[in-house]
Amino acid sequence: MERLVYPNPFRQELSFSLMNNLAEYDLKVFSVLGQQVYSNAEFYENSSTLQINTSQWQPGIYIINLLVETIPYRARTIKRP
């Protein structure tokens, strides 16, 4: 599977490849302690990349749960100080 979440590790911004220009997605990000730090679900068009600002997140490990159309993707990523 191609890399959908990048860069890893990250600092101020996290990017997600949605695999096509028209996609319905559900994105949830959790801290390693299970606290949800980000959630977004919508129909995304005219871009194959979603970027989120992570400048307010604490450094550490995060769990990514991304559902693009009907394809689930789960990953771990690290925020550096």
Give residue 18's Cα distance to chain centre.
10
Average pLDDT, rounded, for the chain: 86
pLDDT in tens, 29-41: 999 999 999 998 8
pLDDT in tens, 38-53: 998 877 666 677 889 9
Rg (CA), the chain: 12
Mean pLDDT lowest for which of 8-22, 27-41, 52-66?
8-22
CATH number of 5-79: 2.60.40.2550
Instruction: Map tokens 């390693």 to a residue.
Output: 32
